[in-house]
Amino acid sequence: MSKIFRKCLAILDTWYFTAVKIALIALYSVIVAAYSNIKLEQEIRGKTDFSDWLMSHPLAVILSAAIIAIIYQAIYKLLINYSKSIYDKSEVAITLVTALERPVGKKRERFAEEVDNFLRLKSSKYTTNKVFKAITKPEEQSKLILEALEDFFRHAYEELDFKVGLMAIKDDEVDDWKYFLPRNSPPRTSLEDLRRKESTISRCISSMQTEIIPDVKKEITKQKNGVTIDTRYVKGATSDKEDWSQICYPIISVTTKKVIYVITIAASQKNFFKQSERKNFEWVLEKFAIRLALEHSLECLLLQKL
Protein backbone atom coordinates (compact mmCIF):
# COMPACT_ATOMS: atom_id res chain seq x y z
CA MET A 1 0.00 0.00 0.00
CA SER A 2 2.84 2.41 0.81
CA LYS A 3 4.10 2.02 -2.78
CA ILE A 4 0.78 3.43 -4.05
CA PHE A 5 1.07 6.38 -1.68
CA ARG A 6 4.66 7.01 -2.81
CA LYS A 7 3.59 6.98 -6.46
CA CYS A 8 0.84 9.51 -5.73
CA LEU A 9 3.34 11.65 -3.84
CA ALA A 10 5.76 11.42 -6.78
CA ILE A 11 3.03 12.69 -9.11
CA LEU A 12 2.39 15.70 -6.88
CA ASP A 13 6.12 16.48 -6.95
CA THR A 14 6.49 16.32 -10.74
CA TRP A 15 7.23 19.46 -12.75
CA TYR A 16 4.02 19.24 -14.77
CA PHE A 17 1.84 19.06 -11.66
CA THR A 18 3.79 22.04 -10.34
CA ALA A 19 2.96 23.83 -13.60
CA VAL A 20 -0.73 23.03 -13.05
CA LYS A 21 -0.53 24.53 -9.54
CA ILE A 22 1.14 27.67 -10.86
CA ALA A 23 -1.50 28.03 -13.59
CA LEU A 24 -4.30 27.57 -11.05
CA ILE A 25 -2.78 30.14 -8.69
CA ALA A 26 -2.37 32.58 -11.59
CA LEU A 27 -6.00 32.08 -12.63
CA TYR A 28 -7.26 32.72 -9.10
CA SER A 29 -5.02 35.79 -8.86
CA VAL A 30 -6.52 37.27 -12.03
CA ILE A 31 -10.09 36.59 -10.85
CA VAL A 32 -9.46 38.09 -7.40
CA ALA A 33 -7.73 41.11 -8.98
CA ALA A 34 -10.82 41.65 -11.15
CA TYR A 35 -12.93 42.31 -8.04
CA SER A 36 -11.01 45.55 -7.49
CA ASN A 37 -10.29 46.40 -11.15
CA ILE A 38 -13.33 47.48 -13.18
CA LYS A 39 -11.60 47.15 -16.58
CA LEU A 40 -10.42 43.61 -15.83
CA GLU A 41 -13.86 42.70 -14.53
CA GLN A 42 -15.48 43.90 -17.75
CA GLU A 43 -13.10 41.78 -19.81
CA ILE A 44 -14.03 38.64 -17.85
CA ARG A 45 -17.75 39.29 -17.42
CA GLY A 46 -19.94 38.45 -20.37
CA LYS A 47 -17.68 35.80 -21.88
CA THR A 48 -19.66 32.84 -20.55
CA ASP A 49 -22.29 32.13 -17.92
CA PHE A 50 -19.52 30.76 -15.73
CA SER A 51 -17.42 33.92 -16.01
CA ASP A 52 -20.48 35.96 -15.02
CA TRP A 53 -20.97 33.69 -12.01
CA LEU A 54 -17.32 34.15 -10.99
CA MET A 55 -17.65 37.94 -11.03
CA SER A 56 -20.94 37.83 -9.13
CA HIS A 57 -19.76 35.54 -6.31
CA PRO A 58 -16.41 36.81 -5.00
CA LEU A 59 -16.87 35.28 -1.54
CA ALA A 60 -17.49 31.80 -2.97
CA VAL A 61 -14.42 32.08 -5.22
CA ILE A 62 -12.11 33.21 -2.41
CA LEU A 63 -13.44 30.51 -0.08
CA SER A 64 -12.99 27.84 -2.75
CA ALA A 65 -9.34 28.89 -3.16
CA ALA A 66 -8.77 28.51 0.59
CA ILE A 67 -10.58 25.15 0.69
CA ILE A 68 -8.59 23.77 -2.25
CA ALA A 69 -5.31 24.87 -0.62
CA ILE A 70 -6.27 23.21 2.71
CA ILE A 71 -7.38 19.99 1.00
CA TYR A 72 -4.18 19.86 -1.05
CA GLN A 73 -1.97 20.31 2.02
CA ALA A 74 -3.95 17.68 3.93
CA ILE A 75 -3.65 15.16 1.08
CA TYR A 76 0.07 15.90 0.66
CA LYS A 77 0.74 15.42 4.38
CA LEU A 78 -1.35 12.24 4.43
CA LEU A 79 0.63 10.82 1.52
CA ILE A 80 3.91 11.62 3.27
CA ASN A 81 2.72 9.92 6.48
CA TYR A 82 1.48 6.79 4.76
CA SER A 83 4.37 6.54 2.30
CA LYS A 84 6.75 6.21 5.25
CA SER A 85 6.16 2.66 6.34
CA ILE A 86 8.31 0.40 8.49
CA TYR A 87 7.77 -2.15 5.73
CA ASP A 88 10.08 -0.19 3.44
CA LYS A 89 13.18 -1.94 4.73
CA SER A 90 15.46 -0.55 2.04
CA GLU A 91 14.69 3.02 3.16
CA VAL A 92 14.62 2.13 6.85
CA ALA A 93 18.01 0.40 6.56
CA ILE A 94 19.70 3.62 5.40
CA THR A 95 18.38 5.58 8.38
CA LEU A 96 19.17 2.64 10.66
CA VAL A 97 22.81 2.37 9.57
CA THR A 98 23.26 6.13 9.90
CA ALA A 99 21.88 6.06 13.46
CA LEU A 100 24.08 3.15 14.53
CA GLU A 101 27.22 4.77 13.15
CA ARG A 102 27.21 7.21 16.06
CA PRO A 103 27.95 4.82 18.98
CA VAL A 104 30.28 2.72 16.80
CA GLY A 105 32.22 5.81 15.74
CA LYS A 106 32.52 7.01 19.32
CA LYS A 107 33.93 3.68 20.50
CA ARG A 108 36.38 3.63 17.59
CA GLU A 109 37.65 7.10 18.59
CA ARG A 110 38.14 5.99 22.22
CA PHE A 111 39.84 2.79 21.13
CA ALA A 112 42.34 4.59 18.88
CA GLU A 113 43.09 7.27 21.47
CA GLU A 114 43.65 4.86 24.37
CA VAL A 115 45.79 2.44 22.37
CA ASP A 116 47.89 5.38 21.16
CA ASN A 117 48.36 6.58 24.75
CA PHE A 118 49.29 3.09 25.90
CA LEU A 119 51.93 2.62 23.19
CA ARG A 120 53.42 6.06 23.76
CA LEU A 121 53.49 6.08 27.57
CA LYS A 122 54.30 2.42 28.26
CA SER A 123 54.29 3.01 32.01
CA SER A 124 53.42 0.50 34.71
CA LYS A 125 50.52 2.76 35.74
CA TYR A 126 48.98 2.57 32.26
CA THR A 127 48.05 -1.11 32.25
CA THR A 128 46.07 -3.09 29.69
CA ASN A 129 43.35 -3.38 32.34
CA LYS A 130 43.01 0.39 32.47
CA VAL A 131 43.03 0.59 28.69
CA PHE A 132 40.23 -1.98 28.54
CA LYS A 133 38.12 0.02 30.99
CA ALA A 134 38.77 3.26 29.13
CA ILE A 135 37.84 1.73 25.79
CA THR A 136 34.68 -0.12 26.81
CA LYS A 137 32.72 2.35 28.99
CA PRO A 138 29.44 0.40 28.67
CA GLU A 139 27.41 3.05 30.49
CA GLU A 140 28.40 5.68 27.97
CA GLN A 141 27.92 3.32 25.04
CA SER A 142 24.45 2.26 26.19
CA LYS A 143 23.45 5.90 26.43
CA LEU A 144 24.75 6.56 22.90
CA ILE A 145 22.87 3.52 21.56
CA LEU A 146 19.60 4.76 23.07
CA GLU A 147 20.24 8.22 21.63
CA ALA A 148 20.84 6.56 18.26
CA LEU A 149 17.50 4.77 18.60
CA GLU A 150 15.75 8.07 19.27
CA ASP A 151 17.57 9.63 16.30
CA PHE A 152 16.41 6.79 14.05
CA PHE A 153 12.71 7.28 14.82
CA ARG A 154 12.99 11.07 14.87
CA HIS A 155 14.56 11.20 11.40
CA ALA A 156 12.53 8.36 9.86
CA TYR A 157 9.23 9.89 11.03
CA GLU A 158 9.88 13.62 11.31
CA GLU A 159 6.23 14.54 11.77
CA LEU A 160 5.91 12.62 15.06
CA ASP A 161 7.25 13.00 18.60
CA PHE A 162 8.81 10.05 20.41
CA LYS A 163 9.67 9.13 23.99
CA VAL A 164 12.35 6.46 24.22
CA GLY A 165 13.35 4.69 27.42
CA LEU A 166 15.51 1.81 28.62
CA MET A 167 14.17 0.13 31.74
CA ALA A 168 16.54 -1.99 33.82
CA ILE A 169 15.02 -5.26 35.06
CA LYS A 170 16.00 -7.05 38.27
CA ASP A 171 14.58 -10.35 39.53
CA ASP A 172 11.91 -10.31 36.80
CA GLU A 173 10.64 -6.95 37.98
CA VAL A 174 10.94 -3.28 37.02
CA ASP A 175 14.05 -1.88 38.70
CA ASP A 176 14.70 1.65 37.45
CA TRP A 177 15.03 3.75 34.32
CA LYS A 178 18.55 3.43 32.95
CA TYR A 179 17.95 6.16 30.39
CA PHE A 180 14.95 8.13 29.16
CA LEU A 181 14.70 10.55 26.25
CA PRO A 182 14.00 13.35 25.65
CA ARG A 183 15.66 14.61 28.82
CA ASN A 184 13.27 17.57 29.14
CA SER A 185 10.28 15.19 29.29
CA PRO A 186 10.98 12.68 32.10
CA PRO A 187 8.69 9.69 32.81
CA ARG A 188 5.47 10.64 34.59
CA THR A 189 4.35 7.21 35.79
CA SER A 190 5.92 6.03 39.04
CA LEU A 191 8.03 2.90 39.27
CA GLU A 192 5.46 1.48 41.71
CA ASP A 193 2.76 1.74 39.04
CA LEU A 194 5.04 0.29 36.40
CA ARG A 195 5.70 -2.71 38.66
CA ARG A 196 2.00 -3.59 38.64
CA LYS A 197 1.40 -6.77 36.66
CA GLU A 198 -1.02 -5.06 34.25
CA SER A 199 1.50 -2.40 33.15
CA THR A 200 2.81 -2.76 29.61
CA ILE A 201 6.41 -3.15 30.81
CA SER A 202 5.49 -5.78 33.41
CA ARG A 203 3.50 -7.70 30.80
CA CYS A 204 6.53 -7.52 28.51
CA ILE A 205 8.71 -9.00 31.28
CA SER A 206 6.31 -11.85 32.07
CA SER A 207 5.54 -12.72 28.44
CA MET A 208 9.15 -12.14 27.28
CA GLN A 209 7.59 -10.87 24.07
CA THR A 210 6.96 -7.52 22.42
CA GLU A 211 3.91 -5.74 23.83
CA ILE A 212 2.09 -3.12 21.73
CA ILE A 213 -0.55 -0.61 22.77
CA PRO A 214 -1.98 0.87 19.53
CA ASP A 215 -4.13 3.45 21.34
CA VAL A 216 -3.16 4.58 24.85
CA LYS A 217 -6.22 6.82 25.14
CA LYS A 218 -8.51 3.86 24.41
CA GLU A 219 -6.84 1.82 27.17
CA ILE A 220 -7.28 4.66 29.66
CA THR A 221 -10.94 5.17 28.67
CA LYS A 222 -11.58 1.45 29.05
CA GLN A 223 -10.27 1.52 32.62
CA LYS A 224 -12.27 4.67 33.47
CA ASN A 225 -15.40 2.85 32.36
CA GLY A 226 -14.66 0.04 34.78
CA VAL A 227 -13.40 -2.48 32.24
CA THR A 228 -10.49 -4.29 33.87
CA ILE A 229 -10.33 -7.47 31.80
CA ASP A 230 -7.04 -7.78 29.92
CA THR A 231 -5.72 -4.44 31.15
CA ARG A 232 -2.48 -3.75 29.31
CA TYR A 233 -1.59 -0.26 30.47
CA VAL A 234 -1.45 1.61 33.78
CA LYS A 235 -2.56 5.23 33.60
CA GLY A 236 -0.33 6.63 36.33
CA ALA A 237 0.09 10.34 35.60
CA THR A 238 -0.74 9.95 31.90
CA SER A 239 -3.17 12.55 30.58
CA ASP A 240 -6.66 11.32 29.63
CA LYS A 241 -6.21 13.07 26.28
CA GLU A 242 -2.87 11.51 25.36
CA ASP A 243 -3.51 10.13 21.89
CA TRP A 244 -0.34 8.03 21.67
CA SER A 245 0.72 4.46 20.89
CA GLN A 246 3.41 2.44 22.65
CA ILE A 247 5.73 -0.52 22.15
CA CYS A 248 7.78 -2.46 24.73
CA TYR A 249 10.56 -4.75 23.53
CA PRO A 250 12.35 -7.19 25.91
CA ILE A 251 16.11 -7.72 25.79
CA ILE A 252 16.77 -11.26 26.99
CA SER A 253 20.08 -12.56 28.32
CA VAL A 254 21.51 -15.41 26.23
CA THR A 255 22.88 -17.07 29.39
CA THR A 256 20.21 -16.63 32.08
CA LYS A 257 17.31 -16.49 29.61
CA LYS A 258 15.85 -13.67 31.69
CA VAL A 259 14.82 -10.16 30.66
CA ILE A 260 17.63 -7.72 31.47
CA TYR A 261 16.19 -4.58 29.84
CA VAL A 262 12.95 -3.41 28.25
CA ILE A 263 13.07 -0.85 25.46
CA THR A 264 10.00 1.39 25.61
CA ILE A 265 8.95 3.76 22.84
CA ALA A 266 5.89 5.99 22.75
CA ALA A 267 4.79 7.68 19.51
CA SER A 268 2.54 10.74 19.33
CA GLN A 269 0.08 9.04 16.99
CA LYS A 270 -2.39 6.30 17.76
CA ASN A 271 -1.97 3.13 15.70
CA PHE A 272 1.59 4.07 14.76
CA PHE A 273 2.64 0.99 16.70
CA LYS A 274 0.20 -1.75 15.78
CA GLN A 275 0.10 -5.52 15.72
CA SER A 276 0.12 -5.76 11.92
CA GLU A 277 3.62 -4.19 11.84
CA ARG A 278 4.96 -5.91 14.93
CA LYS A 279 7.57 -8.05 13.15
CA ASN A 280 8.87 -5.05 11.26
CA PHE A 281 9.37 -2.97 14.39
CA GLU A 282 11.00 -5.98 16.05
CA TRP A 283 13.38 -6.21 13.10
CA VAL A 284 14.51 -2.63 13.78
CA LEU A 285 14.64 -2.86 17.58
CA GLU A 286 16.66 -6.07 17.45
CA LYS A 287 19.59 -4.15 15.92
CA PHE A 288 19.75 -1.88 18.95
CA ALA A 289 18.93 -4.64 21.46
CA ILE A 290 21.95 -6.73 20.42
CA ARG A 291 24.27 -3.80 21.03
CA LEU A 292 22.66 -2.95 24.38
CA ALA A 293 22.97 -6.59 25.49
CA LEU A 294 26.67 -6.53 24.61
CA GLU A 295 27.21 -3.39 26.70
CA HIS A 296 25.29 -5.03 29.56
CA SER A 297 27.72 -7.99 29.49
CA LEU A 298 30.70 -5.62 29.53
CA GLU A 299 29.18 -3.69 32.42
CA CYS A 300 28.74 -6.90 34.42
CA LEU A 301 32.36 -7.81 33.66
CA LEU A 302 33.68 -4.45 34.84
CA LEU A 303 31.73 -4.76 38.07
CA GLN A 304 33.97 -7.71 38.93
CA LYS A 305 36.81 -5.18 39.44
CA LEU A 306 39.12 -6.49 36.79
The pLDDT tens digits of the residues spanning 155-168 come to: 888 778 999 999 99
The structure's pTM equals 0.66
Q: What is the DSSP string of the chain?
A: -HHHHHHHHHHHTSHHHHHHHHHHHHHHHHHHHHTT-HHHHHHHTTS-HHHHHHHH-HHHHHHHHHHHHHHHHHHHHHHHHHH--TT-HHHHHHHHHHHHHHHHHHHHHHHHHHHHHHHHH--TTS-HHHHHHHHH-HHHHHHHHHHHHHHHHHHHTTTS-EEEEEEEEETTEEEEEEEEESTTS---S-HHHHTSTTSHHHHHHHHTS-EEES-HHHHHHHHHTT--TT-----TT--TT---EEEEEEEE-TTT-SEEEEEEEEESSTTSS-GGGHHHHHHHHHHHHHHHHHHHHHHHHHTT--
pLDDT value, residue 87: 47
**Of 83, 107, 135, which residue sits at a domain end?**
83
Position 85 confidence tier, pLDDT thresholds 50, 70, 90: low
Q: Is the same domain home to 55 and 101?
A: no
Q: Is the same domain home to 137 and 17?
A: no
Q: Is the same domain home to 93 and 209?
A: yes
Q: Is the same domain home to 102 and 225?
A: yes
Q: Is the same domain home to 262 and 117?
A: yes
Domain range for 20: 2-83
Q: Is the same domain home to 204 and 286?
A: yes
Q: Is the same domain home to 130 and 235?
A: yes
Number of domains in the chain: 2
pLDDT at 227 over 60: no
